[in-house]
Structure 1
Amino acid sequence: MSKLRRAVGLMSGTSMDGIDVALLDTDGDRALRHGPAASYPYPAEAKVKLRAALIEAKGITARDARPGCLAALERELTELNAEAVERFLRANGIEKAQVDLIGYHGQTVLHDAPRKLTVQLGDGQMLAQRMGVDVVYDLRAADVAAGGQGAPLVPVYHRALAATLPELPVAFVNVGGVGNVTWVGRGGRMLAFDTGPGNALIDDWVLARTGEPHDAGGALAARGKSDEDALQELLTNAYLGKPPPKSLDRNDFSSAPVAGLSLENGAATLTAFTAATIGKAREHMPEEPRLWIVCGGGRKNKTLMGMIAANVPNAVVPAEALGFSGDFIEAEAWAYLAVRAAENLPITFPETTGVPEPMSGGVVCPAR
């Protein structure tokens, strides 16, 4: 067994809420020692810039291109990530010298696997020099260049967590900006793919009409009624019928079918849509999961959790019910992936991203 390394995972992903930070001691295989975790919201002005960046990024044709506002925003986001790590280490009494690696996701502004193009804003070398700690970043790019989907990348960490559970198969469902699922069966078998819009459509709908960033607890959706015609129109999206491996960009779905609905009915319909896409994931699974473990912000939406339960036959539980950290599994995963990448272990697989063979990835930026 390789030695344990202490890694900090930094996750922003498709969410525009802020930066999740988690500490994990791991050998990149089965050994997992969970440390503290915390979340640091983006300043309001950064969120405004990020929404402009999503529009600007649509014109990107090369992975390293940073047109318009993107170059300046990348520097700003890298600084925010460095500040988040420094605050996190101070709060937990940890010296930088005690950290071996930082796994840095960056902020996704474009993901287009068919064009072999995935763009996460974040300068790994700048972060490494600022922190004085080796940084592993750009973990999706090699997979996409090799013909994989570049997402989801967390499944190999889900497999490590599933090894602690008494019964398999299970499904880990992450409901962030985009939804994704990892099916883990006996013998370490995996299948993973993006399921649908996650929270993205719901959040955008609520923000545009109320100024609030999300439907807290699913309260708006609970007061509304799902519109069956609009729901069926949403469910005609061709992506949902495609076999895995497959992945999504945050903007691949449109809320146009609910445009004429009230605030509450629109929220209810979009919530029902996310739940239905998770239910449809069963069509691709080799065996029915005995348990559905929900991670990410979506698990706090009681209406969504109830709708997911109505779409699958077995128990649906938040990650905390099993002792996992529902808010920080992805940040932990980025720490885990950084160690695997540094050890040249595979991080993506034919069954998770469609890459031709298991492969490692990422760019290692030495601190000096």
Structure 2
Amino acid sequence: MTGILYIWIVLLFGIMPDCRSYMTLSSIESCYDPTQTPETYYTITGISVPQCGIMCAGDERCMSISIKRDGNTVTCYHNSGRRLLSTGCDNQYSHFNGYHSSCHYHGVFLNDTYGCRCYGGYIGAWCERLMEDCSEGASTDHYKDFTESDVFHIHPSNAPRAFKVVCTMDGWSPGWTWFFKRRFDSPYVNFTRPWEDYKHGFGDFSNSGNFWTGLDTMYHVTNNRPQRLKAYISFKEDGKWVLRTYAYKNFQVSSETYGYNFSFLSGVPPGPNHEKAMDGLSLFLGAKFSTYDVDNDNDSSDNCANIHQSGWWFTTCDGYNPTGQPQPPSVQYKTSDPTQMSWPNTLNYSAARVNMFLIAD
């Protein structure tokens, strides 16, 4: 049983009505021993090779079969994973990887070892579902060749619908689900927005765009599984660009009922290869989100979102404004202008870029 052998499993006469309608089983050379691993979860002796394949097609767990021949007796093994190509094997087993003949949601069938290549945020053996966040997508092989951030769709298991997000899944990062980008050197996007826009998201969702992903998206992502929020802040300090970072472990955004206030377990300084930013979120811990049309700040006499011309978890109207108006590098220091984008800095330098994203812990 060498080379490529295709076995088509077609369900006839009502046999096995609950199984998948068809499957392609393609032979692959592998040194895998099905008797030595828990991936092999089912064994039966005394059936034919086609019968073994039909049974695999009827079991959602089955992704490959292994066959052992002893004279006219066939032993069939069902495996929960596909076999990888390995040569020079000296064993008594034949192996077949199973695939649908068509991939879901515009996935592309690449080859018999790899199976389907998924796009747009879909993952799985057949591209049958959306990833829950960008970290899950980055953990698969589907997006390992991406070199730039791009727009994808995610569907956290606790959410009633899918969300559009920007992901970084470039092969070396653990998968970044972008919260927002605000930069002086990107096309202008107005951040003076009403509550509904901050709830659902707005802006130029692209690698180089200014955008806000949406509070409702962040609520579902951060409550679906533990997330770490990372802040990357760029300053022009003494004529030199400096990227400063800070992280927040177990960052969570509450629901709209609670004003989308946020919490985190602890602040995490950057590693040795990064410049440390000042903690820019603890000042707002527990505060409800505010926009010019929904005033949730602690200042009873002023509307801080209206004064800052942005949306944020404002407490008082004299604090920092991470979603404010970006300033060019020529504006080296933070000014008294409340609309200026800002992040705390020991020498009061002006923030030129504010980037925040989530990574699943």
User: TM-score range, shorter-chain basis?
Assistant: under 0.3
Higher helix share: 1
More strand by share: 2
- The TM-score normalised by the length of structure 1 is 0.22
Which is greater in Rg? 2
Q: Which has the higher contact order (CA 8 A, sep 6+)?
A: 1
> Normalising to structure 2: TM-score of the pair?
0.22
